[in-house]
Amino acid sequence: MSGRPDPQLLASAPGYRVELAHDGVVHVHAGPLSFRLARDACEALTTTLARAMVQLARTCPQRPVLEVLPGGGEG
């Protein structure tokens, strides 16, 4: 045991996790990849990814996935 506190979980989704370490480094875990970033680098990465997703939505609109849910539509 290292005696260091565990990182603080900031956000998560299945397969993804973002944590804040005791030293201020942001840990981003995405599937098999892990990044340890200074806060300003994490902010720049987040902004870049958001801009990319906006551009992707404009150039390649994706139709929503529709599915039939059991028990829907009765009474």
73 falls in which pLDDT band (50, 70, 90)?
low
Q: Structural domain boundaries of the chain?
A: 8-59
- Kindly state the tokens that stand for 2: 């290292």
- Kindly state the tokens that stand for 72: 């829907």
pLDDT, greater one: 8 or 61: 8
Distance CA(37)–CA(55), nearest Å, equals 25
Contacts of residue 16, defined as CB under 8 A and 6 or more positions apart, other chains included, come to 29, 30, 31
- The pLDDT of residue 59 is 92
Q: What is the pTM of this model?
A: 0.72
pLDDT, greater one: 26 or 75: 26
Q: Mean pLDDT in the chain?
A: 90
3 falls in which pLDDT band (50, 70, 90)?
confident
pLDDT, greater one: 2 or 75: 2
